[in-house]
Amino acid sequence: MVRLNEVRIALIGFGNVGQGLANVLIKKRESLKQNDINIKVVGVADSKGVMFDENGIELEEALRLKKTKGTVAHNGMDVFDMIDQMGEGEIVVDMTPTNIETGEPGMGIMRVALDRGMHVVTSNKGPLALNFQKL
């Protein structure tokens, strides 16, 4: 069950920015809770696959897996399977590499998420520079 003050998010791209955001969320966990903000990270993705649990994943475990195995890939899902498991109003944070010629992979990820009525936050300027109006 989704609590009213719960924000469900997926982190797509788990490099410098993605791992940085994970570390900030861990560091701020208590102060967010005190302010009644419950950010539940349900998925993390890198180029090799996805770690997903609709009940929330442990960010410490995702960081550990990335460090020791080089990937968070876990259960054979890809990014689009993960977005499929999420719902309207939930948040995708795109932190994939910038490709200024095609906008991919961020362009496709953002388009699918927006089509599903999800919110998108991105650090990836490529898709916005190429296709801001369309997005």
Ligand X SMILES: NC(=O)c1ccc[n+]([C@@H]2O[C@H](COP(=O)([O-])OP(=O)(O)OC[C@H]3O[C@@H](n4cnc5c(N)ncnc54)[C@H](OP(=O)(O)O)[C@@H]3O)[C@@H](O)[C@H]2O)c1
Q: Is 100 in the site for ligand X (CB under 6 A)?
A: no
The least distance separating ligand X from the CB of residue 49, rounded to whole angstroms, comes to 8
Find the binding residues for ligand X in span 56-75 (CB under 6 A): 71
Nearer to ligand X, 90 or 94 (CB): 94
- Rounded-to-integer distance, Cα 36 and Cα 26, Å: 15
Q: Which residue is nearest to ligand X (CB)?
A: 15
- Rounded-to-integer distance, Cα 129 and Cα 38, Å: 32
Q: Is 79 in the site for ligand X (CB under 6 A)?
A: yes
- Only one residue has tokens 């939930």, namely 90
- Rounded-to-integer distance, Cα 67 and Cα 122, Å: 23
What tokens does 110 get? 């953002």
- Only one residue has tokens 């259960």, namely 75
The least distance separating ligand X from the CB of residue 50, rounded to whole angstroms, comes to 8
Q: Is 14 in the site for ligand X (CB under 6 A)?
A: yes
The least distance separating ligand X from the CB of residue 1, rounded to whole angstroms, comes to 29
Find the binding residues for ligand X in span 31-50 (CB under 6 A): 45-48
- Rounded-to-integer distance, Cα 74 and Cα 101, Å: 31
- Only one residue has tokens 């897996």, namely 65
**Interface residues toward ligand X, by CB under 6 A:** 12-18, 45-48, 71, 79, 95-98, 105, 123-124
